[in-house]
Amino acid sequence: MQKSKYKIGENRLVFATKGQTDVPPSIAEAPTPSLSDLSKDIAKDPTNLNESIKRLGASWKDLTDATERITNIFKRFDVDVDEEEIEATLREPGANPDSADTTEAEPTDWKEKKPVDVSFKDYKHAEKASNELNKHKDWMEYIKASAQNHNIPVSTIVAFIAKESGFNPNSKCPRSSARGLAQALEGTWETYQNKTGQPNADQFNPKDSIDFMAWYCRDLINSVNAKIDREGLSQDYKLSGADVKNLYISYNQGPAGYLLLRTYLDNPTAANFNAMCSFQKCVRGRSADGKPIYGWQARADYAGRVASVAQAYANPFKWSDFKRTA
C-alpha cells in the first residue's frame, strides 16, 4: 500500500493528497519516546503537529541540529517537510521555554484605557524586561554604557534583547549558531571580535553580548546609510537608532534584505515582489484566501512588535497602578 504523503504548511501538517486519511503504518513502530509521542499525535490528528514540533524543539533547544533531527523524524514517517517551516515554528512564541510571550489574558478595558498605544502582549514584554533588569542591575549598566558608546537608544537595545532571547543569557537557537542575549551568529560574532579588538569576547557573556548588539546596530546603520548614498536610493530608507522597526528588520535580514523589502513596500510591483521572494523563499503559512505568507512578510510584522516593546519600555507604566488612578 502506498504511504500517505504529508507536508508542513501554515505551521501545521497538512495532506499533500486530498482525501487521504490513512496514517503511515511505520508510525506505529516508532522506537523512542519522542517518536512514540509523535506517532500518537499523528494518529490522533494528522493535520495539526505544531505542538509536537514545539515539544521536540523545546526538548532539543540546546542542540544546534534540532531542525535536522526533527526533519529526520518526519522523513521516517514519509512526511515531506520544509526545514525553514520547522525553524519558523520553533521560533514562534511558546516554542522555546525562554520565550517572553505571556499567556495572561488581555484586560477587557485595555484598548480603551491603555496610556501607551501598544498591545497588551508587548506591554508584558516590556514589563518582563524591566523586571529582569531590576534583578540584573549590572546588565542595565552594560546597556547604558553600550547605548552611549554606540549612540543607540536604551529602549532599542532592551526591546531587541526581549525579542531575541527573552533575557536568557544562555539562549541557543535550535537551528543555527545564534547564541546569548543578542542571538549573535558565529560569523558575525567573529567580525565583532576582529573589528573591536576583543578576541576573547564571549557570546554567553552578558556584557559582551549587549555591547555586540549595540555595536552591530550601529554598524548596520552605517552600512545601510552609506549604501543608500552610494547607490542613490531613497533617503527615506536611511536607518537610525530610534527607528526600531526598520533597524530590527535589518538586524535579521541584513542590509540587502532590508533595502529589498523597503523598495518593495515603497513600490509593490511584481518585479520587486519577486526580487524579495528570490532573496528569501521561506513560506511561513497562508492567508485566509490561500495566498502564501513569506518569511520576510512575517518578520516585517514581527519587527513592528519589537518597536512596540521599545515604545512601551520607553514610556513605562504599571497597569495595576494605572488602573487605580485611571
pLDDT tens for each residue of the chain, 326 residues long: 333 334 433 333 332 333 333 333 333 333 333 455 555 665 555 445 555 565 565 555 555 556 666 666 666 655 555 555 565 555 544 334 334 455 577 888 877 777 778 888 888 888 888 889 999 999 999 999 999 999 999 999 999 999 888 899 998 876 678 889 999 988 999 999 999 999 999 999 999 999 999 999 999 999 999 999 999 999 999 999 999 999 999 998 889 989 999 999 889 999 998 888 888 776 666 777 877 777 788 778 888 889 999 998 888 766 554 443 33
Predicted confidence at residue 180, as pLDDT, reads 93
Amino acid in position 293: I
Are residues 147 and 26 part of one domain? Answer: no
Nearest to 280 by CA among 260, 263, 265: 260
Whole-model pTM over 0.95: no
Within a domain: residue 101? no
Residues 6+ apart with CB under 8 A from 230: none
Are residues 312 and 182 part of one domain? Answer: yes
How many domains does one find in the chain? 2
295 grid coordinates: 518569511
Exposure of 51 in the CB half-sphere (CA atoms within 13 A): 10
Instruction: Give the Cα separation of 147 and 280 in Å (integer).
Output: 31
Are residues 179 and 31 part of one domain? Answer: no
Are residues 177 and 65 part of one domain? Answer: no
Are residues 317 and 179 part of one domain? Answer: yes
Are residues 45 and 171 part of one domain? Answer: no
CATH of the domain at 178: 1.10.530.10
Are residues 71 and 23 part of one domain? Answer: yes
Predicted confidence at residue 143, as pLDDT, reads 96
CB atoms within 10 A of CB 60: 18
Angle made by CA atoms 67, 69, 71, in degrees to the nearest 5: 70
Are residues 320 and 237 part of one domain? Answer: yes
Instruction: Give the Cα separation of 98 and 254 in Å (integer).
Output: 25
Residue 232 vs residues 131, 180, 221: alpha-carbon distances, Å: 44, 37, 16
Predicted confidence at residue 124, as pLDDT, reads 85
Within a domain: residue 103? no
Predicted confidence at residue 1, as pLDDT, reads 32
Predicted confidence at residue 19, as pLDDT, reads 34
Domain boundary among 91, 124, 150: 91
Predicted confidence at residue 176, as pLDDT, reads 73
Alpha carbon 119 to its chain centroid, in Å, reads 17
Note down the domain range covering 48: 6-91
Nearest to 34 by CA among 10, 14, 7, 52: 52
CB atoms within 10 A of CB 141: 13
Coil, strand or helix at 317: coil
Coil, strand or helix at 7: strand
Question: Residue 293 belongs to what H/E stretch?
Answer: strand 292-294
Within a domain: residue 141? yes
Q: Would you say 238 and 220 are in contact if contact means Cβ atoms under 8 Å apart?
A: no
Within a domain: residue 98? no
Predicted confidence at residue 2, as pLDDT, reads 36
